[in-house]
Chain A
Amino acid sequence: MQQEILALVYAAIDEVNAQSADAVAIAKTPDTRLLGGSQGVDSLTFVNLVVALEEQIQDGLGQSVVLVDEDSMALQEHPFRTVGTLAEYVEKIIAKQKPN
């Protein structure tokens, strides 16, 4: 599952990189910084990435998810620091949504 989720995140990154010809491309590695710190992406790029990823999850896994909500904002340490932590968070959300 972990690899499947990471593939969806990378597909979303491809979409965003294709849209923003003039911006620095987001590298497809788990360590790539997203939010927080000076090396993260800008707000607009992050919005586009989250929207693209939610659509990838819908298309690829048939699950409708909202990645940034009251729950994720309440977390002490937010899950959007890197591509890797984002993928881990997506995996948790999807596992939570699956019926027992």
Chain B
Amino acid sequence: MSLRVTQFVNGKWRQNCYLIANDDGDALIVDPGSQAEEIVALVEQNNWRLHAILNTHAHYDHIGAVVPLKDRFGAPFYLHGGDRQLLKRANLYRMLFESRDAIKVPAVDYDIAALPPTFEVGPFSISWMPTPGHTDGGVCLVIGEYLFSGDTLMHNAIGRTDLPGGNREQLLKSVRKLMDLPGDMVVCGGHGPQSTVKAEFSEGSRVWSLLQ
């Protein structure tokens, strides 16, 4: 199945929301952080059928547009249960790091932790792996040739670990797991440009040096 991945950079932290669509117009959204109206417009302009909203983790800058998208398209929301508490605290982080305009906190429809390592959503096959360290319930998702790595792995960077739930040793262990993925797999991180597994872990790269 050939996939088209659209990267939508949004919000104060220039977070990456990804829209994944196949040739038949079926679609998924990963990490809709904010600017819901523009994400809705992208879905509608392309006549996509949205099957699910999946999140790599529950920091507020990744979940701010979930509720409006659920309301508009009726798609279920997938999140690892390890981040439920963090999800409830989304407005704490938003108040401190962005503004006092609250976001609506979504209900979780599917706990990723309860799903098998590979599960189906509509015509999509999605593999997930637990990658705690940036947050307790952080996950990476593999869909086709794409790795949606959230803030676990980004181009030339790994996530911060100084917020509650963060653990540097755990994060480094999680990042190491990603080294075994195919080199040409496209890394779609939570912030910054896309890359490949090979580029991120090649000898001398920034991520490679962090792992030494």
Q: How far is the CA of A48 from the CA of B102 in the complex (A)?
A: 20
Q: How far is the CA of A73 from the CA of B164 in the complex (A)?
A: 21
Q: Are A73 and B95 in contact (CB under 8 A)?
A: yes
Provide the A61-100 mask, 1 if CB < 8 A to any CB of B, else 0: 0000011111011100010000000000000000000000
Whole-angstrom distance between the Cβ of B150 and the nearest chain A Cβ: 19
Task: Check A51/B89 contact, CB under 8 A, given A44-B162, A73-B102, A78-B100.
Answer: yes
Residues of B within 8 A of A67 (CB): 92
Q: Are B102 and A70 in contact (CB under 8 A)?
A: yes
Q: Are B104 and A47 in contact (CB under 8 A)?
A: no
Q: How far is the CA of A46 from the CA of B94 in the complex (A)?
A: 12
In terms of DSSP, what is the predominant structure of the interface of chain A? Answer: helix
Q: Are B92 and A50 in contact (CB under 8 A)?
A: yes
Number of B interface residues in the complex (CB < 8 A)? 16
Whose C-beta in chain A lies nearest to the C-beta of B164?
A51
Q: Are B100 and A68 in contact (CB under 8 A)?
A: no
Residues of B within 8 A of A54 (CB): 89
Judged by a CB distance under 8 angstroms, whether A39 is at the interface is no
Q: Are A68 and B95 in contact (CB under 8 A)?
A: yes
Q: Are B102 and A66 in contact (CB under 8 A)?
A: no
When the two chains form the complex, which single residue of A47, A66, A78 contacts B93, counting CB atoms closer than 8 Å?
Answer: A47
Judged by a CB distance under 8 angstroms, whether A43 is at the interface is yes
Q: How far is the CA of A35 from the CA of B147 in the complex (A)?
A: 39
Whole-angstrom distance between the Cβ of B84 and the nearest chain A Cβ: 11
Residues of B within 8 A of A48 (CB): 164
Residues of A within 8 A of B101 (CB): 73
Q: Are A66 and B89 in contact (CB under 8 A)?
A: yes
Q: Are A68 and B91 in contact (CB under 8 A)?
A: yes
Task: Check A47/B91 contact, CB under 8 A, given A70-B104, A73-B100, A73-B102.
Answer: no
Most B Cβ at <10 Å: residue of A66, A68, A74: A68
Q: How far is the CA of A72 from the CA of B164 in the complex (A)?
A: 21
Q: Are A69 and B102 in contact (CB under 8 A)?
A: yes
Q: How far is the CA of A99 from the CA of B47 in the complex (A)?
A: 48
Q: Are A69 and B163 in contact (CB under 8 A)?
A: no
Task: Check A68/B89 contact, CB under 8 A, given A43-B96, A46-B96, A73-B102.
Answer: yes
Judged by a CB distance under 8 angstroms, whether B88 is at the interface is yes
Whole-angstrom distance between the Cβ of A80 and the nearest chain B Cβ: 9
Whole-angstrom distance between the Cβ of A64 and the nearest chain B Cβ: 9
Q: Residues on A close to B: CB < 8 A? A: 43-44, 46-48, 50-51, 54, 66-70, 72-74, 78
Nearest first, the 5 A-B pairs at minimum CB distance are: A68-B92, A70-B102, A43-B96, A73-B102, A51-B164
- CB-defined A-B contacts under 8 Å, sample of 25: A43-B97, A44-B162, A46-B96, A47-B93, A47-B163, A48-B164, A50-B92, A51-B164, A54-B89, A66-B88, A66-B89, A68-B89, A68-B91, A68-B92, A68-B95, A69-B88, A69-B91, A69-B105, A70-B91, A70-B102, A70-B105, A73-B91, A73-B102, A74-B102, A78-B100
